[in-house]
Amino acid sequence: MTRTLEPVTEFDGRYSEPAAQPTPWGTARARLADAPLYWVSTIRPGGRRPHVTPLIGVWHEGALHFCTGAGERKARNLAQNRGCVVTTGCNDLDRGLDVVVEGEAVRVTNLAALHDVADAYVAKYGEEWHFDVTGDDTDGAFVGDGGPALVFAVAPEAVWAFAKGTYGQTRYRF
């Protein structure tokens, strides 16, 4: 699932201050990699209401990875509709960078990929977030203190960066 292509960057002056500049993709990508917390939005079956929940995750091989129990609402929603939005940023009004990722959450089952993602969790969050890997290449999953967890990767289809302080809006198309 490695993404090596650089996205097309589009600065939107309609929603930006005159002094604003496009946010470089490397800056937005670093924000995605370094963020301690993300919010994932999924759609409930029937499409009537969204579901939003905070979670931890890792940016690995060009995609944002997160895990969840198979019975949790977000996993049940993704089983019906893989489309989702993942956001991160800060609650400060006048500083920082908010990033929004649109894409499809694809389940990761390959054992080698799961081991790599598990290592990325430990590198980012420490041993407290160590996961073992179980299953085979068709149904692999994480196992931790909370039991088994499905792992999803969201490779971006579109990303938006919202700069604050000097307000600027940048879109990246993949």
pLDDT tens-digit readout, 63-100? 999 999 999 999 999 999 999 999 999 999 999 999 99
| pLDDT tens readout for residues 35-73 | 999 999 999 998 889 999 999 999 999 999 999 999 999
DSSP 29: H
Indicate whether 3 belongs to any domain: no
Residue 64 has a CB neighbour count (10 Å cut-off) of 26
- Total domains, the chain: 1
Tell me, yes or no, whether 24 lies in a domain: yes
In a domain, 124, yes or no: yes
C-beta of residue 3 within 8 angstroms of C-beta of residue 62: yes
1 pLDDT above the threshold of 80: no
Q: Count helices and strands (H / E) in the chain.
A: 3, 11
Backbone angles phi, psi at 120, to 5 degrees: -65, -35
pLDDT band at 4 (very low <50, low <70, confident <90, very high): low
- We report the CATH number of the domain holding residue 115 as 2.30.110.10
What is the pLDDT, as a whole number, of residue 2?
Answer: 53
Q: Is the dihedral of CA 20, 21, 23, 27 positive or negative?
A: negative
pLDDT band at 145 (very low <50, low <70, confident <90, very high): confident
User: Which own/partner pairs from 53-60 qualify as long-range (CB within 8 Å, at least 24 positions apart)?
Assistant: 56/121, 56/125, 56/129, 57/86, 58/33, 58/117, 58/120, 58/121, 58/124, 59/29, 59/32, 59/33, 60/116, 60/117, 60/120, 60/153
Domain membership of residue 88 as a residue range:
8-173
Mean pLDDT throughout 112-124?
98
The answer to whether residue 157 sits within a structural domain is: yes
Q: Is 1 domain-assigned? A: no
Residue 142 lies in a domain: yes
